[in-house]
Amino acid sequence: MSAATKYVTLEGRFKMHRGGYLESPTMAYETWGDLNEDKSNAILIFSGLSPSAHAASSGEDSTPGWWEDMIGSGFPLDTDRYCIICVNSLGSCFGSTGPASVNPETGELYRLTFPTLTLEDVGEAAFGVVRSLGIEKIHTVVGCSMGGMSGLALCVNHPGAVASFISISSSARPLPFAIAMRSLQRELIRCDPKWQGGNYDPGDQPVDGQRLARKLGMMSYRSPEEWEQRFGRERINYAGPGDEPFRIEFSVESYLEAHANRFSGAFDANCYLYLSRASDLFDLAEHGGSLAAGFRHLDLERVLVIGVVTDILFPLHQQRQLAEGMKTACKDTRLIELDCIRGHDSFLVDMDAFRPIICEFIECSGDFTAKS
């Protein structure tokens, strides 16, 4: 974990949304900027499935974070004015309690004895962090991808606890294509003999399954349009071994291979499975019996929904549905449809498109020309 990581124990039994509990789970988080006197300037970031709490560098840790170009003095999430908080999701493996943690009641790793994880739990645990800092009302929740649903879970379970909400490439509930994509990724990991029903040695992850799952993940995180522009039918120069005649030949294959190798082993397999499943399970309609009722349970002052035209995981019509629903709960809801080419991952890589939009909504002090 980063030297900048802070920890808080949520004392007592943390009751899980679908049953079971965690005994005094730990939450890892980082902060940038200071809380003001009345603690009204907190911005809480929920990440996607795989990042840690290290969203940006700081004095304690100069390593660039996963949203480095969004956070800082004069940046859209402006550390001169706001206290930015990013939590490592409950269930993850970067300091927060998850399936790879030791169950204090047994002294053993949780593994698959970890109770069913939901994004309601992820939201609730993050809310515990915020409360531990004495914050009564969160200025803005920003949720990216899975984090958008975690944030929505927090908002629906604590009406009035959040003033503004920014949903980025997320949804009110995943559609079957996204569920199928994730389900197959999970199956690829579970089919690796090294997974051993979840009982692998933590230092010896089912990396073959993880590699394959990552490749599949990348196919939903990027866009066919990007790859057409970027790779076309370009070939690589290849002089290594391989399963002739099926070795890597096209640049797009080599790109996926490099991404898969970089990611595999960096994330605990069971944690990935739990968080992936939690993403499938989230459905705002479960809060009240219908999507409309779910939206009515929200109590927000301002909402920004950002979607990307080339996103195949959380497609544009879901963004519109989300924004329409949000409007019923909050008149000051704005939908921005970004014409980025890099699909679902655009919020991580196309900063020039996202910064002005978020800057304008947050009213940051930086100079980002708004385009929408």
The Cα–Cα gap between 126 and 105 comes to 23
Is 139 assigned a catalytic role? Answer: no
Please tell me whether residue 157 binds a second copy under the rule CB under 8 A. Answer: no
Site string for a second copy, 109-138 (x = CB under 8 A): ---x---x----------------------
User: Which region, judged by CB under 8 A, interacts with a second copy, from 132-140, 273-281, 294-302, 351-359?
Assistant: 273-281
Interface residue with a second copy, options 152, 155, 212, 338 (CB under 8 A): 212
339 contacts 309 by C-beta, under 8 angstroms: yes
Cβ of residue 91: shortest distance to a second copy, in angstroms? 12
Of 2, 58, 92, 145, the catalytic one is 145
Read off the tokens for 251. 């640049």
The enclosing H or E element of 148 equals helix 146-157
Burial of 176 (0-12, 13-18, 19+ CB in 10 A): exposed
Q: Beta strands 302-308 and 77-78: pairing type?
A: unpaired
Cβ of residue 237: shortest distance to a second copy, in angstroms? 17
Interface residue with a second copy, options 283, 301, 337, 350 (CB under 8 A): 283
The Cα–Cα gap between 32 and 187 comes to 38
168 contacts 148 by C-beta, under 8 angstroms: yes
Nearest to a second copy of 54, 186 (CB atom) = 186
Q: Which of residues 239-258 bind a second copy (CB under 8 A)?
A: 243-246, 248-253, 256
Of 192, 268, 311, 345, the catalytic one is 311
Please tell me whether residue 324 binds a second copy under the rule CB under 8 A. Answer: no
Beta strands in 173-315 (DSSP E): 302-308
Is 311 assigned a catalytic role? Answer: yes
Neighbours of 187 (CB within 10 A): 14
Please tell me whether residue 280 binds a second copy under the rule CB under 8 A. Answer: yes
Cβ of residue 227: shortest distance to a second copy, in angstroms? 4
Is 80 assigned a catalytic role? Answer: no
Interface residue with a second copy, options 134, 176, 240, 289 (CB under 8 A): 176
280 contacts 182 by C-beta, under 8 angstroms: yes
Nearest alpha carbon to residue 347 among 305, 316, 302, 307? 307
Q: Which of residues 93-112 bind a second copy (CB under 8 A)?
A: 112
Nearest to a second copy of 60, 228 (CB atom) = 228
Q: How many residues bind a second copy (CB under 8 A)?
A: 50
Of 52, 89, 344, 345, the catalytic one is 344
The Cα–Cα gap between 9 and 202 comes to 23
Burial of 25 (0-12, 13-18, 19+ CB in 10 A): buried
Task: Supply angle C-alpha 210, 64, 345, rounded to 5.
Answer: 50
Read off the tokens for 160. 């009035």
The Cα–Cα gap between 97 and 139 comes to 26
Interface residue with a second copy, options 64, 177, 196, 293 (CB under 8 A): 177
Catalytic residues: 145, 311, 344
Query: Which stretches of the chain bind a second copy, using CB under 8 A?
Result: 112, 116, 173-177, 179-181, 183-184, 186-188, 190-191, 193, 197-198, 208, 212, 215-216, 219, 224, 227-228, 230-233, 243-246, 248-253, 256, 273-274, 277, 280, 283, 312, 315
